[in-house]
Chains A and B, each alone.
Chain A
Amino acid sequence: MIILFFSNLSKIVKKTNFRIAIIIITIILFSIIFTPYITEFNPRENNSRNRLQSPSLTHYMGTDEFGRDIFARVLYGARNSIQVGISVVVLTIIFGGMVGVLAGYYSKLDNVIMRILDGLMAFPGIIIAISLAAIWGGGKYNIIIALSFSYFPKMARIVRSSILSIKDLEYIESAKAIGASNTRIIFRHILKNSISPIMVQASFNFARAILDEAALSFLGIGIMPPNPSLGGMISDARSFLTVAPWIITFPGIFIVVIVLSFNLIGDGLRDLLDPHLQNNY
C-alpha cells in the first residue's frame, strides 16, 4: 500500500498546482519549526516606545501597538494555528473514525448514531465551536476540542459509508469464515478502503481548522492573548486600521497562503485517489 501511495505521489507531483502547494507547505513547516533561528524577536516581548512602526529592515513587517515585532508574531502565530490544525485533524480522524466504524459495522447502532450525527450536523460548525469555546473560556486546547467536536460528524459519515460499501463484499465474508476477529477485519481490510476519502477530508479539515481557529481568535475566544495568533492579530489591528494598515495585511495573507496550500493538497489527493469524491466541507 505504501508503495502504491508513493508511486501515485510521483504522478501528482508533476502537476504544477500540487507542486507549488508542496513547496509552500515545506517553507511554512520549515519556518515554524525553526522559527527561533529565523527571527531573533520574542513575539510577546513589549517595547511600547517602539509602537506602530511601519515595515523596515529591522522589523520586516513592522511593529504592533506594543512594539512587538509582527514578523515574529506572524510566524509564532502560524505555529499555533498549525498546531491546532494538526491536533484537530488527528482527533477528528480518531473520534470520527471510531464512531464511523461503529455505525458502519454494527447495523444495530447505525440508526441511532446516524440520527445523532444528523442532529449534530444541523448546526453550522462554527456555531458549535463558538458556543463551546465561549463556555470553556477559550484557549488553545479548548478550541481544539470544540473544533474536533464540530468536524467529527462529517468524518464519521465518510468512514461509515466506506465501510458500508465494502462490508458485504466477498473477501470480508471469507475472512469471517476463516475466523478472523472483527477487529482484524476492520483494520486490515475496511480501513484500507477508507484511507483515501479520510485523507482527502483531512486535508480540507486542516484548511478549515486554520480558518475557524482564526475566526475564534478573532472573536476573542480562541488562542488567548498575549499568545500570538493570526486571527487575534487581525482583531487587534482594527483599532489601528487607518494608522497602521500593515498590521492587518500580513496575518491575513499568511492565513490565505496556508489555507490555500492545504486546499490544493486536498484537491491533488482527491484527483489522485478518488476523483469522484465530492468533498467540500
Chain B
Amino acid sequence: MKPLLKSYILKRLISLIPVIIIVAVITFFITNLMPGDPVRVILGNMATEEQVIQLEESLGLDQPLIYRFFDWAVNIIRGDFGDSLYLNSSVRSAIISRIEPTFLIALMAQLMGGILGLSLGILAAVNHRKIMDKLSITVSLLGISVPSFWLSIILILVFSVWLRWFPVSGYEPLAEGGFSTFRYLILPSTALAFMQAGIIARITRSSVLDTFKADYIRTARSKGLFQRTIIIKHSLKNAMVPIITVIGHNFAILLGGTWIIETIFFIPGTGYLAINAIMRRDIPVIQGCIIFVALIYITVNFLVDISYVFFNPRIKYS
C-alpha cells in the first residue's frame, strides 16, 4: 500500500478515537438517567426492601455514577458489555445472536434502494427537464416523505393479509431456512428501501447533473463520443463521491429505521432487542445496542472516507 494511503488511513483511524470516547460518554449518561426501576420488575410485586437492596448490590447499581462509568468504560474496551438485566445472557452474546436479521435487512434495503435510486437518478439526469426527469423527482420526493412505519403496515395489509404472499411477521435464520429466510425480509426491506431510493435518487441526479456541467465533459462531447460512454466512463465516477458520502451519512438513518421496522414485523434483530430493552429499562443492553449502532455507523463512514481515494485520486490526503 502506498505510504500516503497508509498514513491517510492511519490519520483517519486516529481521529475516530475522540469520537468513540464521546459516544461512550453520551451513551452511558443518557441510559443511566432513565427512570423506572428494573430491579422491582425482576423481583416482582412481593419484593421486600431487603431483596431490592440485595439485587441492586449484586448488579452493582448502588455505586456512584462516575465510578460506574469508568468501570463500564474499561470493560467496554475489553469487549465486555456486561450482562443483561432480563435476558439470561451477556449483552454481547445477545447482540451477536441477533445481528443476522438486522444485517440482512439493512443490506437488502441498501441494495434495493441503491439500485433503484441510482437508476432513477441517472435516468433523470440524462433526461433533464423532460418528463422522465419530473417523474423521477416526484417519485424520489415521495420516497423521502412517506413514513416507513406506515408504509410497512400498508405493505403488510396488502401483501400479507390480503394477498398472502408473505408472512406477516417472524423470522427464520439462514441456517434453517436458506432461501425461505428472504420471504420474511422482503417486506421490511422494501419499506426501508423506499426512503433510501428517494434519497439516493436525488443526490445521484444532482451530482450527475453537476458533472455534466464540468469542462472535461463538454470537451469529451465536442469530441463526439457517445453519450452513454461519456456518462459511464467519466460522469459517474466523479459523481460517485457525493453519492457515496450521502449513502454513508444516511446509513445511520437506515440503521435507525431498522429499529422500528423490526418491531413492526417482530423480527428478532438488534433493533427489536433495543426497543424492548428501552421499554424495560434493561440498561446494559440499551448501552450495548446504542454503541453497536454508533460503531457500525462510524465504520461505514470510515470506509466511505477511504473509498474516496478510489473514486477520485485527486482528493488530497489531508
Assess A/B contact in the complex (Cβ within 8 A): yes
Q: Which of B157, B253, B274 contacts A281 (CB 8 A)?
A: B253
Tell me whether B153 and A118 are in contact (CB under 8 A): no
Residues of B participating in the A interface, judged by any CB pair closer than 8 Å: 18-23, 25-26, 30-31, 33-35, 137, 141-142, 144-147, 149-150, 153-154, 156-157, 161, 199, 202-203, 206-207, 210, 242, 245-246, 249-250, 252-253, 255-257, 259-260, 263, 274-275, 278-279, 286, 290, 293-294, 297-298
Q: B255 contacts which chain A residues (CB < 8 A)?
A: 124, 127
Q: Is A131 an interface residue (CB 8 A)?
A: yes
A134-B279 contact in complex given A120-B22, A126-B259, A211-B147, C-beta closer than 8 Å: yes
Q: Is A11 an interface residue (CB 8 A)?
A: no
Tell me whether B22 and A252 are in contact (CB under 8 A): no
Q: Which of A116, A132, A267 contacts B22 (CB 8 A)?
A: A116
A49 to chain B, nearest CB (A): 27
Q: Which of A128, A207, A218, A249 contacts B260 (CB 8 A)?
A: A218
Q: Is A179 an interface residue (CB 8 A)?
A: no
User: What residue in chain B is nearest A132 (Cβ atoms)?
Assistant: B30
In the bound complex, what is the Cα–Cα distance between A85 and B183 (angstroms)?
37
Q: Is A225 an interface residue (CB 8 A)?
A: no
Tell me whether B31 and A252 are in contact (CB under 8 A): no
| Nearest 8 pairs of A and B residues by beta carbon | A119-B22, A124-B256, A126-B256, A124-B252, A259-B145, A260-B145, A252-B150, A122-B294
User: Which of A166-174, A183-191, A240-248 binds B?
Assistant: A240-248
Tell me whether A120 and B26 are in contact (CB under 8 A): yes
Residues of A participating in the B interface, judged by any CB pair closer than 8 Å: 17, 115-116, 118-128, 130-132, 134-135, 137, 207, 211, 214-215, 218-219, 231, 234, 237-238, 241-242, 245, 248-249, 251-252, 255-256, 259-260, 263-264, 267, 276, 278, 280-281
A248-B256 contact in complex given A135-B35, A259-B145, A280-B202, C-beta closer than 8 Å: no
In the bound complex, what is the Cα–Cα distance between A207 and B142 (angstroms)?
12
Tell me whether B22 and A118 are in contact (CB under 8 A): yes
Q: A137 contacts which chain B residues (CB < 8 A)?
A: 35
Interface of B (DSSP majority class): helix
Q: List 24 A-B contacts (CB under 8 A).
A: A118-B22, A119-B20, A120-B22, A121-B252, A122-B22, A122-B294, A124-B252, A125-B253, A126-B257, A126-B259, A127-B274, A130-B259, A130-B278, A131-B31, A134-B279, A207-B145, A234-B150, A252-B147, A255-B146, A259-B147, A278-B206, A278-B207, A278-B246, A280-B203
Tell me whether A131 and B278 are in contact (CB under 8 A): yes
In the bound complex, what is the Cα–Cα distance between A50 and B224 (angstroms)?
72
In the bound complex, what is the Cα–Cα distance between A264 and B154 (angstroms)?
24
In the bound complex, what is the Cα–Cα distance between A211 and B146 (angstroms)?
8
User: What residue in chain B is nearest A271 (Cβ atoms)?
Assistant: B206
Q: Which of B34, B142, B161, B203 contacts A242 (CB 8 A)?
A: B161
Q: Which of B26, B150, B199, B298 contacts A248 (CB 8 A)?
A: B150
- Max chain B C-beta neighbours (<10 A), residue from A115, A116, A118: A118
Q: A218 contacts which chain B residues (CB < 8 A)?
A: 147, 149, 260
B286 to chain A, nearest CB (A): 7
In the bound complex, what is the Cα–Cα distance between A263 and B34 (angstroms)?
35
Q: B157 contacts which chain A residues (CB < 8 A)?
A: 241-242, 245, 248
A263-B22 contact in complex given A124-B293, A252-B154, C-beta closer than 8 Å: no
A215 to chain B, nearest CB (A): 6
Q: B259 contacts which chain A residues (CB < 8 A)?
A: 126-127, 130
Q: A118 contacts which chain B residues (CB < 8 A)?
A: 18-19, 22
